[in-house]
Amino acid sequence: MKYFAKKLIGLFATLLAVSFLVFLAFAVIPGDPATAMLGTQATPERIEALREEMGLNEPLLVRYAAWVADFVRGDFGISYSYRIPVTNMIVDKLPVTLTLMALSFLLIVFVSIPLGITCARYRGGVLDHCIVAANQVVMAIPAFFSGILITLVFGLLLHLFTPGGYVSYQKDWGRFLGYMLFPSIAVALPKIAMTTKLLRASVLSETRLDYVRTAYSRGNGTRAVLYRHVLKNALIPVVTFLGMALADMVAGSIIVEQVFNIPGLGRILLTSISNRDYPVVQAIIVCIAFLVLTINFLVDLVYQMVDPRITIE
């Protein structure tokens, strides 16, 4: 419990640091938000009035404190280009991106675990060689290109889904998930390859250990030894990797959303970047950082559950 509290405090400290860095980065860029909102034709008086209203004349730290206070209350500021609260823009997009990530994560776990174990079990065999070679190639395919290939093969040639035919989850959860399955394959593919590779190596090094022999000596078959004894040990390095992979997948989903024309966080982020709509960019980046840090936090907890040797230290 003490460990948990310590980790939680660490999480908040890092989060605060992240938000400050992001805030700083956007505060030092040249260009005046008030001018950006009103346009260059606005009179200096109006700009000055708006600056005053937005609190831009306050010192940096005061502005940061105000921004954080608003952020905690769920007020992410006003978009320069759309003049609407950023919160409204983000809030219904977040589930889309989260669903994409969750589906991809499930795919990674349920495909690479059996695959990695099968490879290790029949190491040196034909199947193992095929999977290892395929892994190597799949790892080299960027997510957006596999997205394009999936669109081509499953969408245009096999008609399993309609490319661009995104259905909002607010309308129909079933069809939403059906559509999201394909982009999540694209996001998951390279990670599946990496996880399989890592797990295979991890299982192989575990099977040399003494406790495996003990497990056999009690009458376990190879399958039982691998799944009941080796897997949990072999997962320890994989958990760390999956944590990093998840963080990476946030970025991956932004790109893949674009391939499949999905209006998620990535879409707004990109339009805001091209419009230089800083409050939106800032808010999304802090949200994503929050997501990534929370994932890291959860990974730490899972790590503890898997490996009893690292407890309260």
Q: Which residue has the tokens 């992001």?
A: 22
Measured from the CB of residue 142, what is the shortest distance to another protein in angstroms? 5
Measured from the CB of residue 189, what is the shortest distance to another protein in angstroms? 12
End-to-end Cα spacing for the chain: 11
Nearer to another protein, 96 or 284 (CB): 284
Nearer to another protein, 87 or 220 (CB): 220
For CA atoms 217, 223, 229, 233, give the dihedral sign.
positive
Name the nearest CA neighbour of 232 among 206, 198, 210, 197: 206
Measured from the CB of residue 259, what is the shortest distance to another protein in angstroms? 7
Burial 119-143 (b: 16+ CB within 10 A, else e): bbbeeeeeebeebeeebeebeeeeb
Measured from the CB of residue 23, what is the shortest distance to another protein in angstroms? 12
CA distance 253 to 187: 6
Nearer to another protein, 103 or 193 (CB): 193
Name the nearest CA neighbour of 139 among 65, 209, 192: 192
Measured from the CB of residue 198, what is the shortest distance to another protein in angstroms? 13
Nearer to another protein, 14 or 205 (CB): 14
Nearer to another protein, 107 or 281 (CB): 281
Helix (H) or strand (E) segment spanning residue 272 = helix 265-275
Measured from the CB of residue 60, what is the shortest distance to another protein in angstroms? 17
Helix (H) or strand (E) segment spanning residue 205 = helix 173-206
Q: Record the tokens describing residue 182, joined without a space.
A: 């394909």
CA distance 294 to 248: 14
Nearer to another protein, 171 or 309 (CB): 309
Q: Record the tokens describing residue 214, joined without a space.
A: 């003990």
Measured from the CB of residue 191, what is the shortest distance to another protein in angstroms? 12
Helix (H) or strand (E) segment spanning residue 132 = helix 126-139
Q: Record the tokens describing residue 30, joined without a space.
A: 């040249």
Nearer to another protein, 75 or 307 (CB): 307
List of residues contacting another protein (CB under 8 A): 14, 17-18, 21-22, 25-26, 29, 136-137, 139-145, 148-149, 151-152, 156, 163, 209-211, 213-221, 224, 229, 232-233, 236, 247-248, 250-251, 254-255, 258-259, 269-270, 272-274, 276, 278, 281, 285, 288-289, 292-293, 296, 306-309
Measured from the CB of residue 212, what is the shortest distance to another protein in angstroms? 9
Nearer to another protein, 54 or 148 (CB): 148
Cross-strand partners of 78: 85
Instruction: Tell me how far CA of residue 300 lies from CA of 3, 107, 295, in angstroms.
Output: 10, 21, 9
